[in-house]
Amino acid sequence: MNTRILSLFGIWIVALAAAAAAQETPSSSVITGERAGRIRLGMTVAEARKAVAPMKLERTSDGEGIALIALKRGKDTVMTIYAGEEDRDAAIAENAKIEQIWVWDKNYRTSEGISPGMRLAEAEKISGPVKEIVRSEIESREFVEFARQPSGIMFRLNSGDGVFAAGSSTTAKYKPAARILSIEVVGERAPMDGDDDVSFTSTHTDLRSGCTSAGGEEGGHVSTFCKGPAGYQVHFFDAATVYQLNVADEKRDFEEPVAMFGLDKLKAAKAVEWRIADGTPFAAIFTHPGNGKVIVRGLKGFERIKLEEEGKGALERARSMADDMYADIIVPATRIDATPTVTVYGKLAKYDDKAKYVVKASAGDHLKVSIKARKWTGEEGPIMVGIVMMPDGSSDGAPGGTVFDDALTQDGDHEILVYQNGAKSRAENIDYEVTISLTPKAN
């Protein structure tokens, strides 16, 4: 082989190596709010298996017994994937869709440059000071939030890295050797229900500054009022051995109880978060200083929003669920008379569109709701969902077919929400029909 051939052969080898390097970096190792390298939320396990070959996917679990999938390079676990599976002893479901990703490998990093194994002090230089470190009740896992937290991403620390006061589950202090243990991809919230142009933001009200107190005369309770946005306020007062915390409007024509906690917990209480849509407050979010539960209560006109979350990621889930419930509430409604039976027809142009129907009924009446997709565009048929929302804000429903068939327990307007399960299918231009039967209670 002459020197010219050797030279060309060497150039070819170098070119191949460069091409391989270009494929591996940076896109194959970047973590965003929707993906980690070649693994993205929403893809099937089978698609993930193909995307990361020759790495292997194996069944695993955690201390909570959740069915998980380990992505392994040799004996090393690169990522752990959750795909909505329930049985940790079952074979991996190849058609299951990925919902969460935990990244453990230090070769992966966010677009800003934070990677597993990085010292927390170095991460602060990238994403700003630590806002809060939260320790979960289950397994005492610790999660850190930065001032410039990337959307759709959570950072977990090694257990014991946070410096917590006695009895507290939150702090902003950490040990000098604290490191990022893993990076979790939970997903950036997708617009739903026609809220593409809605801007969701938050503001906070501190319970220990800028507040005024009144009462206390002749042994009566002391009420403390802390200003919130758009005329709303936090009202908390001592009732024997506990505080009762409410949110109210300026004149207290509207006042909603939020939480009750011990008098000794006020110093540990976080600020009340006001969730805002296009400048209008619609919900209050409060983390219980005793048990760590995140409590959400809707404001005037949004009283249906009532939920509680706990465990890791509870605050982010609570915000997302409140935003989704807001979007459900503002869906335009069509009032119908369903006695004895009516079939209505409609169209959902986009995969995340929703429709709403309102039926006035009484406790004891029997309501039956069935939903069917008639035609659609796209290869995959829609998985239709129907939810019946009761006057008190509770709800019941199921995937398409007969979604509700039961006696009602409340008087008033019952809302029927119709939509496609966008996590399972994304058809468009869906023509559907809803059959609603309302049988008055027997006298």
Give the range among 43-47, 196-200, 205-209 with minimum mean pLDDT: 196-200
pLDDT at 17 over 90: no
CA 294 – CA 271 distance, rounded (Å): 12
pTM of the shown model: 0.54
Three-state DSSP class for 422?
coil
Least confident range of 19-23, 164-168, 234-238, 437-441: 19-23
Token duo for residue 164: 């917590």
The mean per-residue pLDDT over the stretch 172-180 comes to 95
User: Do residues 280 and 201 lie in contact, with contact meaning Cβ atoms separated by under 8 Å?
Assistant: no
What are the DSSP E strand ranges found in 61-106? 68-73, 76-82, 100-103
Q: What tokens appear for 339 in the block?
A: 């006695």
Q: What angle do CA 282, 286, 287 make, to 5 degrees?
A: 150
Q: What are the tokens at 225?
A: 């009022």
- Sheet containing 242-248: order of strands: 211-215, 222-227, 233-239, 242-248, 255-262
Work out whether strand 100-103 and strand 180-185 pair parallel, antiparallel, or are unpaired: antiparallel
| Tokens 């997709």, residue located | 373
Q: What is the pLDDT of residue 216?
A: 65
Does 152 have pLDDT greater than 50? yes
> What's the confidence (pLDDT) of residue 137?
54
Tell me: the pLDDT tens digits for 301-318? 999 899 999 988 888 899
- pLDDT tens sequence across 324-363: 899 899 999 999 988 899 999 999 998 889 999 999 999 9
Characterise 270 by phi-psi region: left (phi > 0), alpha (psi -120 to 50), beta (else).
beta
**Is residue 140's pLDDT more than 80?**
no
Query: What is the rounded distance in angstroms from the CA atom of residue 441 to the CA atom of residue 362?
Result: 8
User: Which is it for the CA torsion 261, 266, 267, 273, positive or negative?
Assistant: positive
